[in-house]
Amino acid sequence: MDDTRYKILLIEDDRFDQMAFERFLKDEKPLYECKIASSVSQAHNILACEDFDAIVSDYSLGDGTALNILDFTKDIPIIIVTGVGDEEVATQAWRRGAYDYITKDIKRNYLKAIPKTIKNAVEHKKMEEALERKKRNLEAIFDAAPGSMLLIDENMIVTRANDTIKQLVQKEYHHIINHKLGNVLGCINSTCNENACRNSQLCQECPLYKTLKSVLDSGKPVHDVEAHITLKINEKKITLWLRVSAKPVIMDGCKHVVVVIDDITEHKKMESEHRLAEEKYRLIFENSAVAITMADEQNKLISWNKFAEDLLGMDREDLFLRQVSSLYPPDAWGKIKACNVKQKGLQHHLIETTMIRKDGSIIDVDVSLSVFKNPEDERINSIAIIRDMTERRKAEEKLKETMEIKSQFISTVSHELRTPLAAIKEGIAIVLDEVVGRINEKQKKFLNIAKRNVDRLGNMINNILDFQKLEAENIGLHIQNNDIKQIALEVHETMVLYAEKNGIELMYEFAEDIPQAKFDRERIVQVLINLIGNAIKFSPKGGQACLNVRHRNEELVISVSDTGFGIPKYELPKIFERFYRAKHQREEVQGTGLGLSIVHKIVTRHGGRIEVESEVGRGSTFTVFLPLDPKTSQNLLPVTADHIL
């Protein structure tokens, strides 16, 4: 059942017409609720406090006309009914906003037309309201759109703009709406309206103008056109990358373009940085002096550099989608495959192996393999950096051989020198001891010089032999439990006479409770003798030297200090090198420059270390740290020539 009810205000000063109107509407469907005003002022009062769906008003009223009513009722549809009106009145009424105009034609029973007109007026108003709402919604969407949206007309004048464009150009609406696009955006070529967005040479070069002009001219939309333009925003020149989409529309009968502009400057910057980085890595990849190959999850080659082609003697066709396994001998491939397990994250492996070249020859290589899972599609990829080690391995072999020959040579020569030296020494001793006849003081003096030099030569040969053996690791250490205090005491006893002869006071300090330690007794004695010997040698007469033994945590700490000449700072890193003798050396102090390198070798072979502190003119302290048990020491490494060289 239709229970629509229209609330009507009838403004009529004629009592009979009022009654006729009421009577007529009483039986009409839908229902009409009718209120009556007899004058303009009465209608004014009623309308001030009540709302109506429609107003039916007589044209001539005692205190005015229906046109006066139109002045204060903008939102309610008004139907004007009159017996005196003519066409001019009707036109005026419509122009002032009346919904309709009906003549009181009694013969044609004008009342009959009123209900339909009211209904139409009410519905028309509802429709208008709905349209208005829709328009407001659309405007809200337009304003809130994340991209900058503009509506421009045929003359490139902005007729609408949303909030985002305000932020982009940093201008208020009154500087945007009804202004040329070039001025709105701050085009550097359009400092005043005359220059902005015209068909000029400069505009022809503007990518934005060209795009929008083409849309206006062709009537076809464009999408995602990228424009690189320089604008003046807040008096600052800024070069931006804009992405523009534009669609033609007809509005109020005129061509317009809806333009969506995105500022993609940051995006472009990132894109170019990304491209640069990619290019950089590609250059490194292409030009690196090692072979690089990349394989997919099925171990098929998907990428490689020129160096890889050269190393394997293969070209593009040979390598493209080739099974990686075919590049390795079977046992070598087993090693590589074991690394290719599907574990999460990135893994690195360094493998010494061999590879097969196209001609079947085998090459020694070091493969640095990185296996990683691609997080997006869970694929496993691997990158191998391959270094050709063939030449290096050959060189290493050669070096080893040469070193062996050298060692052999040195040992043989040293042994050969020792025997005649022993005979010379013996001979001098016999003559000096006057076993074969008396000799005078002058002869004694010269023979003593000869003896000292023979001793020196003997020491030198012994040192060279020791060093040689240590370097070749021929000396197997004889590790056993030892009492360092006992050994240090014996060494002190031996050296104290030598010290006295050189005018040096040799002292010792041993801490209580020094535990037993495992080391090679003979070698550690050699260390102590070398260090104490140096302390005596490199101290002026009247000086002091001290042997100190203590222990700290799992280490023995043995130091030899003196009040001697000291060593300049710049020489300290070199004194453990073989044959190195400090530059400031006093000529009268004899030596080979091997003592400290032998000490260093022995100490490091025990898993220990040696440190030195020294000050020129004040003296030096050499401190040896020896693990109580070399087997448990972290430092126990095989000593190679490199440690000393």
Shortest Cβ 355–ligand ADP spacing (Å)? 46
10 Å CB burial of residue 308 (0-12, 13-18, 19+) is buried
Shortest Cβ 468–ligand ADP spacing (Å)? 15
Handedness of CA 32, 38, 43, 46 (dihedral sign): negative
**308, 386 contact by CB (below 8 A):** yes
- Give dist(CA 630, CA 637) in Å, integer: 10
Q: Which is nearer to ligand ADP, 328 or 565 (CB)?
A: 565
Query: Omega into 77 within 30° of 0, i.e. cis?
Result: no
Q: Which is nearer to ligand ADP, 173 or 580 (CB)?
A: 580
Q: What is the 3-state secondary structure (H, E, C) of 261-279?
A: EEECHHHHHHHHHHHHHHH
Shortest Cβ 413–ligand ADP spacing (Å)? 20
Q: Which is nearer to ligand ADP, 351 or 507 (CB)?
A: 507
Q: Which is nearer to ligand ADP, 41 or 585 (CB)?
A: 585
**Helices marked H in 14-112:** 15-26, 40-49, 66-72, 87-95
Angle, CA of 536, 507 and 497, to the nearest 5°:
55
Shortest Cβ 473–ligand ADP spacing (Å)? 20
150-153-158-159 Cα dihedral, nearest 10 degrees: -90
What residue type is assigned to position 146 of the chain?
P
Handedness of CA 120, 126, 127, 132 (dihedral sign): positive
Q: Which is nearer to ligand ADP, 21 or 538 (CB)?
A: 538
**296, 340 contact by CB (below 8 A):** no
37 beta partners: 11
Q: Which is nearer to ligand ADP, 25 or 464 (CB)?
A: 464
Shortest Cβ 584–ligand ADP spacing (Å)? 7
Shortest Cβ 509–ligand ADP spacing (Å)? 17
Could you tell me the two tokens for 175?
A: 């500087």
Q: Which is nearer to ligand ADP, 280 or 618 (CB)?
A: 618
Shortest Cβ 573–ligand ADP spacing (Å)? 11
Shortest Cβ 511–ligand ADP spacing (Å)? 22
Q: Which is nearer to ligand ADP, 484 or 594 (CB)?
A: 594
Shortest Cβ 410–ligand ADP spacing (Å)? 17
Q: Which is nearer to ligand ADP, 189 or 614 (CB)?
A: 614
Q: Which is nearer to ligand ADP, 208 or 575 (CB)?
A: 575
- Which residue of this chain has its Cβ atom nearest to ligand ADP in the complex? 591
- Give dist(CA 180, CA 208) in Å, integer: 13
10 Å CB burial of residue 96 (0-12, 13-18, 19+) is middle
Which residues of the chain form contacts with ligand ADP (CB under 6 A)? 530, 534-535, 538, 562, 564-565, 567, 575, 580-582, 585, 591-597, 620
Residue 77 to residues 135, 342, 344, Cα–Cα distance (Å): 21, 79, 75
Shortest Cβ 323–ligand ADP spacing (Å)? 58
- Give dist(CA 429, CA 447) in Å, integer: 9
